[in-house]
Amino acid sequence: MYFESHAHYDDAKFDENRDILIEETHAFGVDTIINIGADMASSQRSIELSEKYPYIYAAVGVHPHDVKDMTEEDIDTLRRWSKLEKVVAIGEIGLDYHYDLSPRDSQRYWFERQLILANEVDMPVVIHSREATQETYDIISASPVRKGVIHAFSGSADFAHKYIDMGFYIGIGGVVTFKNGRKTVETVREIPVERILIETDSPYLSPEPVRGTVNNSQNLRYIVDKISEIKQIPPETVAKITSENAKVVFCL
């Protein structure tokens, strides 16, 4: 029923109940989960989860927070991992100028380098962008990559349309339910549902009415309900179309 396009079930917050929660989530109606790598270690853990559960797939990549420690050897490892059957994307990669946990020059270099890798291995990308909307767009525009998802999209509806025109999909998560999520609501209103993926970013960004708790993919229902309200179409239709969208993006 639901396709979870962005989760981190390898996160330590799930150490106590990971297997039970994943199985309960699947029984709840989350048919497919993309577990997203954020550094080399979490990318490997994502692969391990994908090999354990038939309905989990992995994305491998290094988040801008952690590229300060990245090496060309890591690119070689990501290239090797990309050939595994259950690996379906390079990500999450991009820019984060909010925390600046890696120098901006390093962020830009390794973002561009991982885009080159994605093009080389012909895989979609999962893009992280925080307080770097224009620069993220400019770097992607200058690359040959034209497939993937802009995760936790926080830009304007105009920027969403620019990404859609390039071939990308827009990731919508719990922020759309927040009282201060007006920009995300406007984006959902302005773009076609045929270009939306739903995501939780579990264990982060829990939607209303469970904000502040450890997020999990069962909370996709609240995101779907909000999109349904905005678009004035049934929740079942939102779930079906966004699932079909994700299958196109990740070639499943």
pLDDT tens, N- to C-terminus, the chain (252 residues): 999 999 999 999 999 999 999 999 999 999 999 999 999 999 999 999 999 999 999 999 999 999 999 999 999 999 999 999 999 999 999 999 999 999 999 999 999 999 999 999 999 999 999 999 999 999 999 999 999 999 999 999 999 999 999 999 999 999 999 999 999 999 999 999 999 999 999 999 999 999 999 999 999 999 999 999 999 999 999 999 999 999 999 999
Residue 216: the pLDDT is 98
pLDDT reported for residue 180 = 95
- The Cα 52–Cα 168 span in angstroms is 29
- Residue 112 and residue 138 in contact, taking contact as beta carbons nearer than 8 Å: no
Backbone φ and ψ for 194, nearest 5 degrees, come out as: -65, -5
Spatial separation of the C-alpha atoms in residues 193 and 241, rounded to whole Å: 7
Longest dimension (CA), the chain: 49
What is the spatial distance between Cα 118 and Cα 121, in angstroms, rounded to a whole number? 5
- Residue 237 tokens, joined: 């239709």
Whether the predicted model's global pTM rises above the 0.95 cut: yes
CA distance 240 to 165: 23
Q: Tell me if the bond preceding 209 is cis, omega within 30° of 0.
A: yes
Task: Look at residue 11 in the predicted model and tell me its pLDDT.
Answer: 98
Rg over CA atoms, the chain: 17
pLDDT for the residue 93? 98
The closest of 221, 197, 198 to 209, measured between CA atoms, is 221
2-249 CATH choice from 3.30.450.20, 3.30.230.10, 3.20.20.140, 3.40.50.1370: 3.20.20.140
